[in-house]
Amino acid sequence: MWPRVLERSLTWVTAFASETLVGFVNVAWDGGAHAFLLDTTVHPDWGRRGIGTELVRRAAQAAHEHGGLEWLHVDYEPHLIGFYEDCGFKPTSAGLLRLN
């Protein structure tokens, strides 16, 4: 699964403790002006240390440096509003259609 996901990514950012993966975020891209932050994940044992914030910051910086992008989108559950607002995202209205 991951090779298929990552080959369609603009970039991804990882966090390691020694050789252990403790955090990940993927930046997907539509090939135009929009990039999408996906799968922001930090292992629960490593939470509340700023790792997620740093992953998002580096992902946003990489998207910015790519050039030509106008927007970085992220969908999140209500309990993550504060986290993403602290990362600089503004809440927006959006729609979601379940396909299966």
Query: Angle at the Cα of 98 (from 95 to 100), degrees rounded to 5?
Result: 165
Q: Hey, is 33 helix, strand or coil?
A: coil
What's the pTM value of the predicted model, to 2 decimals? 0.91
- Please write the tens of the pLDDT for every residue from 14-71: 999 999 999 999 999 999 999 999 999 999 999 999 999 999 999 999 999 999 999 9
**SS3 readout for 36-91:** EEEEEEECHHHCCCCHHHHHHHHHHHHHHHHCCCCEEEECCCHHHHHHHHHCCCCC
The domain defined by 2-86 folds into Aminopeptidase (3.40.630)
Structure tokens at 87: 């990362």
Q: Which residue has the tokens 């580096």?
A: 58
pLDDT at 8: 81
